[in-house]
Amino acid sequence: MSTQVHGNGLSGPRRLRSRASRLLAAVGAAALTLSAGLATPLNPAPHRAAAAEGDSVLTVAVAQSVDSLSPFLASRLLSTSIHRLMYEYLTNYDPRDARAIPGLATRWESSPDKLTWTYTIRSDSQWSDGQQATAEDAAWTFNKMMTDEGAATANGSFVTNFKKVTALSPAKLVIELKTPQATMTALDVPIVPKHVWGKVTDFSEFNNDKSFPVVGNGPFVLTDYKPDSYVRLKANKDFWRGTPKFDEMVFRYYKDQDAAVAALRKGEVSFVAGSPSLTPAQAASLESEKDIHVNDAPGRRFYALAINPGAKARNGQKFGDGDPSLLDVRVRHALFMAVDRKAVIDKVFQGHAVQGQGYIPPRFSQYFWKPSASQELAYAPQRAARLLDEAGYRRNNSSGKRLGKDGKPITYRILCHATDPNDKAVGQYLKEWWGRLGIGVTLDCLDNVSDPWLAGTYDLAFDGWSVNPDPDFVLSIHTCAALPATPKDSGATDNFVCDKQYDDLYTRQLSEYDPAKRATIVKQMESRLYDLGYMNVMAYPNAVEAYRTDQIKSIRTMPSDAGNIYGQDGYWSWWSAVPADRTGSSDDAGATGVIVGGVVGAAVLVGAGVFFALRRRSTVDDRE
């Protein structure tokens, strides 16, 4: 998850699970037809350690490592972004407005009762080992997720409402639903080749990282990987939408972001993604550099503090050691009201962010919600102190420390990502703000926050997700169904939230095809999550990233007018990127696939149906 999950890209557990993008298609009573795409896995062959002489190489510096190269397990933004390059999905998102366009599927239509969806699978997509990609691959992928809990680890929420999936022919995929599902053109699931993945015996353990090149059908083919070092991919010359302009791509991991920025200055890398964004100081230092362009645009992420509500599994078994005081909503609200969000924006992000409110960033205006004046947990430290008193957590007269029910001073452990300077900076402010309340703070800044996050051995954690145009995924990670089956399992949950009222609203939004009505329900879910006090969204950071113009001539942002390059809802940036020594532009590179796809999407909309796009989370470390 992503996506810091635990990035999950918990982003450390901040999960960015770019499980990490969903597009929602909401239709009226009429049927609707659309288009979609595919994906890639593994294939025995020699490692390709370096680019051939004369090849153009696009090197991206990243501050996050890969959690898994298996699309059934990966949740970090980096991992899910790589999977978008390796595999096609049924549908994709238009980079201009995020509406559904063809991916592996060229068309789709629903039955009048919206319980049966038929997808036409394209005939011009083949796996990198030469075999044809068919509806059988898609049916196998979904069926495996429906029947194997390990295969459902990352993206299981997409198929829980599926009744039956069948390949009627190589070109026809049919999905039967238990109840109507509004996300059927936003199934952010990489489709894998059955003839390769059918040999896997344990999906909960297989990481897809031992045999290269990995068989796929996306714009790039994975050719080499070294943990905590690099991922190397080669352009797929047979990709149906067109061959990428760069011959190779390398994602190179830098634990120290300043070192990544220095590498950009030296020309050792082409692009710096940040963690997930550059710091204000780094961005400012690059803006005056020759041959470097800084992209600073509204982002699709939120930056938050997640509270451990008492980790538990679906079987009811509790685990972990979260502080019991956090089970009291008054305590959670008090911690909210002792955080100065304006100071976070001004002093930490230095204006490269918007003050946090609801769960979904303002970039997605249809779903953006903010609390009413009477509901808002605004900065009010004196009121926060009174709430703690009312909850029975009073100060010790001699030390001034708040005491727990056990008579010991309260000190909260906060998980933070060692590679994220924002976590450390905000953590210092929390020590100051909460210290005034008599509460101690210990920052546990780790390279791997996933392990303690998944084990529930934390009190609070810096969290963040990349939100998709359709928010279904990031909403699903707070449902009871997302909890792990047992304490030994890993579920799709963000931070173990389980609330019946929230769950009921989630079920309603999933089956609501009217865009306005669905948006209203989603906002009610955000309101409920806010009132519960488990997620304190402090900021919506800008996407701040940089690249060398003497290496990259042009590259597409998403959305096109003012958007991000890294971590998109699709593969548009890397597929469209044009080397500096080549003619043409990224717009030229994308013209055929995107514009034609857009025409198809518009032409197949029948009746009063309306589409809307969604996207998913993206990390424990950096959830998509």
Domain CATH for 441 = 3.10.105.10
Same domain, 575 and 530: no
Give the chain's length: 624
Q: Among residues 541, 570, 591, which one ends one of the domains?
A: 541
Same domain, 536 and 548: no
Same domain, 294 and 358: no
* Nearest-10 crossing angle of helices 381-390, 329-337: 160
Same domain, 271 and 257: yes
Domain hosting residue 529, numbered range:
303-541
Q: Which residues lie below 8 Å from residue 313, measured CB to CB, with a gap of 6+?
A: 319, 483, 484, 485, 486, 487, 489, 491
pLDDT one-digit tens code per residue, 130-184: 999 999 999 999 999 999 999 999 999 899 999 999 999 999 999 999 999 999 9
In this predicted structure, what is the pLDDT of residue 450?
A: 87
Q: Quick check: is 322 in a domain?
A: yes
Nearest to 108 by CA among 207, 184, 12: 184
| Contact status, residue 605 vs residue 465, Cβ threshold 8 Å | no
Phi, psi angle pair for 33, to nearest 5°: -125, 145
More confident residue, 541 or 469: 541
Same domain, 294 and 315: no
pLDDT one-digit tens code per residue, 337-379: 999 999 999 999 999 999 999 999 999 999 999 999 999 999 9
* Nearest-10 crossing angle of helices 515-532, 500-510: 160
Q: Quick check: is 484 in a domain?
A: yes
392: left (phi over 0), alpha (psi -120 to 50) or beta: left
Q: What is the mean pLDDT of residues 521-546?
A: 97
pLDDT one-digit tens code per residue, 291-305: 999 999 999 999 999
Query: Of the given ranges (170-179, 439-448, 495-504, 609-618), which has the lowest mean pLDDT?
Result: 609-618
Same domain, 308 and 220: no
Same domain, 352 and 287: no
Phi, psi angle pair for 547, to nearest 5°: -145, 160
**Residue 539 CB-density burial (10 A; 0-12 exposed, 13-18 middle, 19+ buried):** buried
Average pLDDT over the chain, rounded to an integer? 86
Q: Which value, in Å, is the radius of gyration of the alpha carbons in the chain?
A: 23
pLDDT one-digit tens code per residue, 71-104: 999 988 899 999 999 999 999 999 998 899 999 9
**Would you report the helix, strand and coil content of the chain in percent, each value rounded to 5?**
25, 25, 50
Q: Quick check: is 617 in a domain?
A: no
Same domain, 413 and 452: yes
The verdict on whether omega for the bond into residue 180 sits within 30 degrees of 0, i.e. cis, is: no
Q: How far apart are CA 98 and CA 83, in angstroms?
A: 19
Domain CATH for 197 = 3.40.190.10
Q: Quick check: is 320 in a domain?
A: yes
Same domain, 159 and 117: yes
Q: Quick check: is 64 in a domain?
A: yes
Same domain, 235 and 322: no
| Number of domains present in the structure of the chain | 2
| Contact status, residue 34 vs residue 185, Cβ threshold 8 Å | yes
- The 8-class DSSP code of residue 144 comes to H
Same domain, 108 and 157: yes
In this predicted structure, what is the pLDDT of residue 271?
A: 98
Q: Quick check: is 75 in a domain?
A: yes
Q: Which residues lie below 8 Å from residue 152, measured CB to CB, with a gap of 6+?
A: 72, 145, 146, 159
Q: CA-CA distances (angstroms) from residue 341 to 243, 356, 535, 617?
A: 45, 7, 14, 23
Q: Quick check: is 237 in a domain?
A: yes
pLDDT at position 3 over 80: no
Provide the whole-model pTM. Answer: 0.78
Q: How far apart are CA 2 and CA 450, in angstroms?
A: 11
3-state secondary structure of 94: coil
pLDDT one-digit tens code per residue, 226-257: 999 999 999 999 999 999 999 999 999 998 88
Strands, DSSP E only, in 363-439? 411-417
Q: How far apart are CA 614 and CA 361, in angstroms?
A: 12
Same domain, 537 and 549: no
Q: How far apart are CA 511 and CA 532, in angstroms?
A: 24
More confident residue, 420 or 214: 214
Q: Quick check: is 447 in a domain?
A: yes
Label each residue of 249-267 as H, E or C. Answer: EEEEECCCHHHHHHHHHHC
